[in-house]
Amino acid sequence: MITGMSHTQVWVLDQDSALDFYTKKLGLTLHDDVRLGPDGPRWLTVSAPDQPELRIVLSEASPPMLDPESAERLRALIAKGVLGAGVMSTGDCRATYAELASRGVTFVQEPAERPYGIEAVFRDDSGNWFSLTQQTAD
């Protein structure tokens, strides 16, 4: 029986840059940063401080994770900014928007009222976009 989700993956263009962005600009916590074998991929995970059980794997879109042709295609899509990577939750969308914008996070949509709550949309340093959502009571 499945009991939950422990990890989710976000493809990034550069793991060092992504680590800096996700920890310093978004305020997430580093959990794992290890090389899986001498020629293996780097296992890099972060999580929200209040949700350490769900780790975001920051995977570089390059070999050995992908074959060269797939890596090139995926990197182009990431850089173009067409991939949505998920929804990050907050208790106060407007305050979090102001805080993250002051840290240099690029928003493509300012906070706006939606049927499900208040939402802003930002991009990470690779080009992936995320919804930042303050949900209204059910």
How many domains, in total, are found in the chain?
1
Q: Residue 58 has what pLDDT?
A: 98
Q: Residue 26 has what pLDDT?
A: 98
Q: Residue 138 has what pLDDT?
A: 63
The boundaries of the domain holding residue 99 are: 7-135
Residues 6 or more apart in contact with residue 61 via CB below 8 angstroms: 11, 12, 13, 71, 74, 75, 78
Residue 93 lies in a domain: yes
Q: What is the CATH number of the domain that holds 104?
A: 3.10.180.10
Walk along the chain (138 residues) in steps of 10 and give the mean pLDDT of each run.
94 98 98 90 95 96 91 95 93 98 98 97 97 88
Q: Residue 38 has what pLDDT?
A: 85
115: helix, strand or coil: coil
Given the structure tokens 């949309």, which residue do they identify?
Answer: 121
Residue 75 lies in a domain: yes
Residue 1 lies in a domain: no
Residue 77 lies in a domain: yes
Confidence (pTM): 0.93
